Amino acid sequence: MDHIIPINARIFGLISEFKIDAKIAPVEPFGSGHINDTYRIINSDAKGVDYLLQRINHHVFNDVPALMQNLLNVTNHLKQKLSLVPGANTEKEVLTIVQTRQGLPYFKDKDGDYWRVFHFLKDTRSYDQVETEKQAFEGGKAFGRFQALLSDLDTSLVKDTIPDFHNIEFRLNKLRQAIDANVVGRLNKVLAEIEFIKLRAAKMSEILRLGRAGILPRRIVHNDTKFNNVLLDSEDKAQCVIDLDTVMPGYVAYDFGDSIRTIINTTAEDETALNQIGLNIPLFEAYTRGYFQQAIVFLTEAEIDSLLKGVLLLPYIQAVRFLTDYLEGDHYFKIHSRDHNLQRTRAQLVLVKKLEDNQEVLDHIIQKTWQH
Ligand SMILES: Nc1ncnc2c1ncn2[C@@H]1O[C@H](COP(=O)(O)OP(=O)(O)O)[C@@H](O)[C@H]1O
Ligand SMILES: [Mg+2]
């Protein structure tokens, strides 16, 4: 956002493919996302709509047409549901996708890159890190409401664009393969971590088992519930959930667990001083309050009971993925030091242990909040 690049022919050409009639001012790279390249397109008419142009990372998402059809189905459903809520604003609270002049929700350029355009939501901001209880509460509200509005969307309308995304059995299989192959000879450095993971493997598959038994319903969930995927308004109130690329059928506990994974950790995801890792219980409580305020209208009792399982599962999955990458020679996650993935694994496993040790406290907060 700091450096405005001169509007270049490429971006200008791209914009002309979309149904945008406004006169366009300079273009600037925007935001702190790690997956897509994002540009803000400013309307010369200050009162007009600004746009957000994104190049979709088609290495991560290899079926862009299916992905964009998911986004259309999801945003249309959200808008339709919100239009029935008094006082709601469907333009500000849901992403609006701009179609191409051909009527498609994306444009494929001659280099094979895919582009899309949203309405830019003015006077909003996102934060990478939750710092206050108020923010945690707003984050919980945003994702709770998102799930609630989608709870009656036919799951067959949203395709599994990344199969097995949060499937722990799949992730543990990958780890097993990496252990057997031991391609970079790191196995003997991680025996304690493997033992810790193995001991918990059966318990961590519980959500999947309950799902297969029909006890937990598959719903449309967000799957990337980081706090910076919520836009807050000028008063720091949740306005719009963004980054809908991973919205897929799954279990509500995945979203809850992934939010809590970062919010509750008093340190960084890759903290090296393991004894510093602790739990921020007030932030957990605030998120849970915001979440229930919105989600209570559709959650089943089995789902409420699954939330704590999600809280334990998500850092565990993350540890399994870091460790797999470490054993495979660091192909997937960008590393900043030689043993970075091992460090990340250890930090996540310490977090799992802390969460286990505090299960009763966390469970009490969940029970108390939903009964309230
Ligand atoms: N419609 C929008 N209006 C305003 N800002 C947006 C909008 N969509 C995204 N952003 C900003 O751009 C950043 C990156 O967008 P996002 O869709 O989350 O991409 P990534 O997949 O790279 O995380 C967000 O964190 C947010 O700050
Ligand atoms: Mg994002």
Higher pLDDT, 3 or 81: 81
Q: In this predicted structure, what is the pLDDT of residue 142? A: 98
d(CA 288, CA 259): 10
Is the pLDDT score of 4 beyond 60? no
Place of tokens 């919520």: 230
> Residue 200 pLDDT more than 90?
yes
Look at residue 253 and tell me whether its pLDDT is greater than 90.
yes
| Any ligand 1 atom below 6 A from CB of 99 | no
Which spans in 276-339 are helix H?
A: 281-295, 301-328
State what percent of residues in the chain have pLDDT above 70: 95
Phi, psi of 282 (to 5 degrees): -60, -35
Asked if residues 103 and 236 have their Cβ atoms less than 8 Å apart, the reply is: no
Kindly indicate the confidence band of residue 1, based on its pLDDT and cuts at 50, 70 and 90: very low
φ/ψ (deg, to 5) at 14:
-65, -45
End-to-end CA distance of the chain: 43
Give Cα separations from 143 to 20, 140, 150 (angstroms): 30, 5, 11
Quote the Cα angle for 271-274-279, to 5°.
Answer: 85
The answer to whether 54 and 38 have CB atoms below 8 angstroms apart is: yes
Q: How far apart are CA 165 and CA 294, in angstroms?
A: 25
Phi, psi of 229 (to 5 degrees): -100, 20
Q: What is the structure's pLDDT at 95?
A: 98
Closest C-alpha residue for ligand 1 atom 20: 33
Per-residue pLDDT, averaged over 37-46, amounts to: 88
pLDDT at 177 over 80: yes
SS3 250: strand
Cβ neighbours of residue 220 closer than 8 Å, sequence gap 6 or more: 74, 147, 150, 151, 153, 155, 158, 247, 248, 249, 250
**Binding site membership of 52 for ligand 1 (Cβ less than 6 Å):** yes
pLDDT of residue 156: 95
Spatial distance between the Cα atoms of 331 and 81, rounded to a whole number of angstroms: 42
CB-CB contact of 178 with 324 (8 Å): yes
Q: Enumerate the β-bridge partners of residue 108.
A: 114
Contacts (Cβ under 8 Å, ≥6 apart) of 255: 143, 147, 221, 222, 223, 225, 310
Instruction: Tell me how crowded residue 192 is: count the other CB atoms within 10 A of its CB.
Output: 10
Q: Which among 338, 150, 342 is positioned nearest to 250, based on CA atoms?
A: 150
Q: Identify the residue whose C-alpha is closest to ligand 1 atom 2.
A: 120
What's the average model confidence in pLDDT over 248-257? 98
- The predicted-structure confidence for 130-150, as pLDDT tens digits, reads as follows 999 999 999 999 999 999 999
Which domains, from first to last, does the chain contain? 9-119 (3.30.200.20), 133-371 (3.90.1200.10)
243 Cα distance to chain centroid: 7
CA 41 to ligand 1 center in whole angstroms:
13
Q: Is residue 35 over pLDDT 70?
A: no
Contact 37, 54 (CB under 8 A): yes
- Give the tokens for residue 258: 């992934």
Is there a contact between 97 and 118 (Cβ–Cβ < 8 Å)?
yes
Mean pLDDT within 254-271: 96
Local confidence band at 7 (pLDDT 50, 70, 90 cut-offs): low
Q: In terms of pTM, does the model score above 0.85?
A: yes
Does ligand 1 come within 6 angstroms of the Cβ of 228?
yes
318-329, pLDDT tens digit by residue? Answer: 999 999 999 999
Mean pLDDT (whole number) for 216-232: 96
40, 242, 245: which to mutate for ligand 1, most atoms within 8 A of CB? 242
- DSSP secondary structure letters along 137-161: HHHHHHHHHHHHHHTTS-GGGS--S
Burial class (CB in 10 A: 0-12, 13-18, 19+), 32: exposed
Q: Please report, for residues 51, 80, 118, 126, 320, the alpha-carbon distance to residue 88 in angstroms, rounded to integers and kept in the order given.
A: 22, 11, 19, 20, 41
pLDDT mean across residues, the chain: 94
- Which pLDDT value is given to residue 81? 97
Residue 211 near ligand 1, beta carbon < 6 Å: no
CB atoms within 10 A of CB 300: 12
Q: Is 164 left (phi over 0), alpha (psi -120 to 50) or beta?
A: left
Alpha carbon 311 to chain centroid, angstroms:
14
Q: Kindly report the protein residue whose alpha carbon is nearest to atom 17 of ligand 1.
A: 243
- Please tell me if the CB atom of residue 37 comes closer than 6 angstroms to any atom of ligand 1: no
The model's pLDDT over 268-290, given as tens digits with 9 standing for 90+, comes to: 999 999 999 999 999 999 999 99
- Distance of CA 158 from the midpoint of ligand 1 (Å): 21
What value does the CA radius of gyration of the chain take, rounded to a whole number of Å? 21
Instruction: Check if 96 has its Cβ closer than 6 Å to any atom of ligand 1.
Output: no
Enumerate residues with CB within 5 Å of ligand 2 (an ion).
Answer: 33, 229, 243
Is 223 a pocket residue for ligand 1 (Cβ < 6 Å)?
A: no
